[in-house]
Structure 1
Amino acid sequence: MLDLAPDIALPLGRLHEACGPARRSFALWVASRSTGPVFWVSPPWSAEQIYPQGIKHLLHPGRVTFVSPTRAEDVLWTLEEVLRSGQVPLVIGDLPGIPALTPVRRLHLAAEQGGVAAGRLPLGVILTPGDGGAAGVESRWAMRPEHQRGPNRWGLTRLRARTAPVKDWSITMDTRGFAPLTVKAQKPHAVKNDLEKVE
């Protein structure tokens, strides 16, 4: 389990999804709490690329290997191969769309096989546009900026998890990185009608 904060954790050996306008900030938070190398896989034509010097307050840019497959389908293939190798503890895939259920299941299986091969379970995180909605993921998180006076703040919502309910937090950043400020009062969340029913 990779713990980001109390009650905010990602089980290892599984694939998780982050969506929302601050999904890359969530991925950087995950990377800052992990140890060892990080592979960040994204298509080269994406207008939103990570600037290494802009992340050094969270993690050393030398830990991150940026991989840019030339075809959209090769992003998922690269994620699968890196997870299966078991040599990289954290693999982040910045996807141009929502993957189907079969590739998600393949990524879970690759993470499990990589864990057997390396003796430690890797973690996969996919970043999806809009409100996300990849079927079969272990958990889904939405992060967005909260614009107001004072320190930078973000809203984080756990939209889906196999073993935890929907929940909202306000997140800030201090000299040690991201940290929850408060747990928000819970409100009803609409349940997405996706293929998760068939898992």
Structure 2
Amino acid sequence: MPASTAAHLLSRQSHRPDRARVAFLDDLGLDRARAHELCGSARRTLAVQIAGRLTGPVLWIRPAWEPGRLNPDGMLALADPSRFLFVTPKRAEDVLWSAEEALRAGAVPLVVADLPGPPGLTAIRRLHLAAETGAERGTAPLGLVLTPGKGGAPGVESRWSFVARHGGDGREAWQLERRRARTEPEKSWLVRRGDRGLTLDAAPVTG
């Protein structure tokens, strides 16, 4: 175990290496070297949008028995599908293990764990520690945990909900909600697809 990680565990203080934020929609960003949760019916669309704001390979891990495979044609407008590496473990326990090992290696900038339900607190803490170790070894990785419905994984750095709100005029739109963040308030925005991809409306949605 690296000395810095051991010191972090003994002191119970948050060890935070360089965490340049990943801006994924206008000025909204996610801290690297941490695990963030994306939930809601359009969570995979948001994950692909985030991937499009990064360079390098994307490791996408999902159980072999779960539906919801990504369509390369649908991804093109947001990110290059050729950058994605898909891992489909056959055992449930191997999904989070694979994500943890990938984050710890620090070899890819984005690791996505596409899960059938929210993991527990211990699993999230292990993902945080693995991402911090990865930042010491190489590129500070970003960890995304995708969960259905309203999510609810405890201990995540932030939680975002993304739900389709397409209008009858054929224009694509989504509602983005920041439901949890350590240093930022809860907010909601309307997101639209324009000539330059997904963008936020001028003002947050209130209520």
Same fold (TM over 0.5): yes
State whether structure 2 residue 144 is matched by structure 1 residue 125. Answer: yes
Q: Deviations over 1:61-106 (max 9, x none)?
A: 1100011011111110000000000000001110011100001000
1:54 Cα deviation from its structure 2 partner = 2.3
1:26 to 15, 30, 46: 46
Give the Cα separation in 2 of the matches to 1:170 and 1:65: 30
How much has 1:7 moved relative to structure 2?
Answer: 4.0
Letter of the aligned partner of 2:142 in structure 1?
A: L
**What is the match of residue 134 of structure 1?**
153
Q: C-alpha distance in 1, partners of 2:44/2:178? A: 15
Q: State the SS of the aligned residue for 1:134.
A: coil
Query: How far 1:4 moved relative to its partner?
Result: 1.6
Alignment partners' CA distance in 1, 2:36 and 2:104: 16
Given the alignment, which residue of 91, 101, 108 partners 1:71?
91
Q: State the secondary structure of the residue aligned to 2:201.
A: strand
- Assess if the C-alpha contact under 8 Å between 2:26 and 2:199 holds in 1: no
1:173 aligned onto 2:193:
yes
* 1:95-114 mapped onto 2 (5 Å cutoff): 95-114=115-134
User: How far 1:6 sits from its partner (Å)?
Assistant: 3.8
Q: Which has the larger radius of gyration?
A: 2
Unaligned runs of at least 5 residues, structure 2: 1-20
Tell me the equivalent position of 2:162: 143
Deviant stretches of 4+, over 4 Å: none
After TM superposition, the score normalised by the length of structure 2 is 0.86
Q: How does 1:150-165 map to 2 (within 5 A)?
A: 150=169, 151-165=171-185
1:66 partner SS: strand
| Displacement after TM superposition at 1:35 (Å) | 1.1
CA distance in 2 between partners of 1:136 and 1:30 (Å): 21
Partner residue, 2:12: none
TM-score, normalisation: structure 1: 0.90
Q: How many angstroms apart in 2 are the aligned matches of 1:134 and 1:44?
A: 21
**Alignment check: 8 A CA contact 2:190 2:205 kept:** no
C-alpha contact (below 8 Å) 1:41/1:94 kept by paired residues: yes
Rounded to whole Å, the distance in 2 between the matches of 1:183 and 1:8 is 13
Displacement of 1:183 in angstroms is 2.7
Structure 1 Cα separation of the partners of residues 205 and 90 of structure 2: 44
Task: Find the residue that maps to 2:180 and give its secondary structure.
Answer: strand
1:18 partner letter: L
